[in-house]
Amino acid sequence: LSLNDLNALPETEFMRYFGAVLEHSPRYAQAVCAGRPYTSAETVAAAFIQVAFRDGPEAQLALIRAHPDLAGKAALAGEVTAESASEQASAGLDRLSPEEYAEFHRLNAAYHQKFDMPFVVCVREHTKASIMRGAFDRLNNTPEQERQQAIHEIGRIARLRVLDLIEPDLTEPD
Ligand code: GUN
C-alpha cells in the first residue's frame, strides 16, 4: 500500500488494512483514519501510538488485556491473530523446548498474578532470552509503571505492523 493510496482509501478499506494494528482494538484505527492525510509511514505509526497513549487508564488496561499470552494456550492452539502468531514465531516462541514452555508458563502466571494482565513486549525487537529476562525484571515494577511499559511496547508493536503495511518511500529524506 502506498501512502497516496492510504490517504485516499474509503474508511471501510482503511479498516481492512489497519484494523488489527492494535490487537483486537479496531476503534484506534478509526481514530487514525480520521486523522488523514499522513505524510509518511512513520507519522501513521506515530498516530497509532498517540491514540493509545492518550487513552485513559481503564481503556489502556482493556487494550493490554486484548493481547494473548506469549507462548500461551491460545498461541499453542493456533487461536491468535496472524500478526501475533508471526511475531511470536519471529522470536522462536512457537518452537520452545518443554522446559522453556514451562518457564514461560511460570512467568506468565506470576505476571498475571501481580498485574492482572498479560505480559506484553515487542517480540520482534527481542530474542527468546531477552523476552524471558524482561518478564522476570518487569515483575519488580509497580502496576502503574507496568501499565505504561506495556503501552510503550504496544506502540512499538503497532509501529512495526504499520511499517509492514506501507510501501517504503524511496525518496530521500530531507
Ligand atoms: N508482543 C507482540 N505480540 C504480542 C502478543 O500477541 N501478545 C503479547 N503478550 N505480547 C506480544
Average pLDDT over residues 104-117: 97
> What distance in angstroms lies between residue 17's CA and the mean position of ligand 1's atoms?
19
The residues near 124 (Cβ < 8 Å, ≥ 6 apart) are 87, 90, 91, 157, 160
- Whether 105 is a known active-site residue: answer no
> What distance in angstroms lies between residue 171's CA and the mean position of ligand 1's atoms?
33
Q: What is the ipTM of this complex?
A: 0.90
Amino acid at 146: E
Query: How many Å apart are CA 172 and CA 77, to the nearest integer?
Result: 44
What pLDDT, on a 0 to 100 scale, did the predictor assign at position 168?
Answer: 83
In the chain, where are the structural domains located? 68-149
Residue 174 — pLDDT band, cuts 50, 70, 90? low
Per-position DSSP letters for 94-117, written without gaps between them = TS--HHHHHHHHHHHHHHHHHHSS
- Written as nine digits, the cell of 12 is 471501510
- Which tens digits make up the pLDDT trace of 75-91? 988 899 999 999 999 99
Amino acid at 56: G
> What distance in angstroms lies between residue 104's CA and the mean position of ligand 1's atoms?
13
Q: Ligand 1 pocket check: which of 65, 76, 123 to mutate, most ligand atoms within 8 Å of Cβ?
A: 123
What pLDDT, on a 0 to 100 scale, did the predictor assign at position 169?
Answer: 72
- Which tens digits make up the pLDDT trace of 5-51? 999 999 999 999 999 999 999 999 999 999 999 999 999 999 999 99
157 in contact with ligand 1, CB cutoff 6 A: yes
Residue pair 67/23 in contact (Cβ under 8 Å)? The answer is yes
Average pLDDT over residues 140-159: 97
Mean pLDDT of the chain: 94
Residue 144 burial (C-beta neighbours within 10 Å; 0-12, 13-18, 19+) = exposed
Atom number, ligand 1, closest to the C-alpha of residue 124: 2
Residue 147 — pLDDT band, cuts 50, 70, 90? very high
87 in contact with ligand 1, CB cutoff 6 A: yes
Q: Taking the model in full, what pTM does it have?
A: 0.93
Which of 67, 112, 126, 152 is the catalytic position?
67
Share of the chain above pLDDT 70, in %: 97
CATH of 68-149, one of 3.90.105.10, 3.40.1170.60, 1.10.3330.10, 2.170.120.12: 1.10.3330.10
